[in-house]
Amino acid sequence: MTQPLNDSETARWTAWKRANEAVLAAVAQEIHRAAGLSEADFAVLSRVIENGDGRMPQQDLGDMLGWKRPRLSRQLSRMTERGLVRREDGHGRRMLIAATADGRAALAEARPAHARAVRRALLAHTLAPGSDAFWEVIQEISSAPGVTD
């Protein structure tokens, strides 16, 4: 039987969770302040615009985000209502998601805020000597089988 985490392991796990949450919250807040986008808005727009050249099949977007169909559909409905994306008929029964001019403008406003926040909340703390080992471990964890975006 696997033993529970010891005190040291628990402290590291807790610190990891808190650090992760703090960085993600700082980035989300900066993006929202700069462009009025939620984390989900930013995720959708960045995938559609940067990976799909402004348009991609809804199924591919869902796969890329790792979202189930109901979650993606609700998010796209909210974004459509706000004029950030539109749905278009694709080949066969495929639905395409296209970024609107407003969606492109919002992402353009959000990108510099995203970079500032990542640098301030994360990278500024990990530039010390020896931090390469930290990033090597992070890369190893993130590329392990079963780990997704």
Mean pLDDT by 10 residues, the chain (149 residues): 93 92 96 98 97 92 96 98 95 91 98 96 80 82 69
Give the Cα separation of 50 and 27 in Å (integer): 19
> At 18, which amino acid appears?
R
Alpha helices in 36-130 (DSSP H): 39-52, 58-65, 69-81, 101-121
Q: What is the pTM of this model?
A: 0.85
Q: May I ask the CATH architecture of the domain 24-142?
A: Orthogonal Bundle (1.10)
- Domain residues of the chain, as ranges? 24-142
61: closest CA among 37, 77, 45, 39? Answer: 45
Confidence at residue 25, expressed as pLDDT on a 0 to 100 scale: 96
- Alpha-carbon gap, residue 121 to 2, rounded angstroms: 35
Cα–chain center distance at 60: 16
Can you give the pLDDT at residue 149? 43
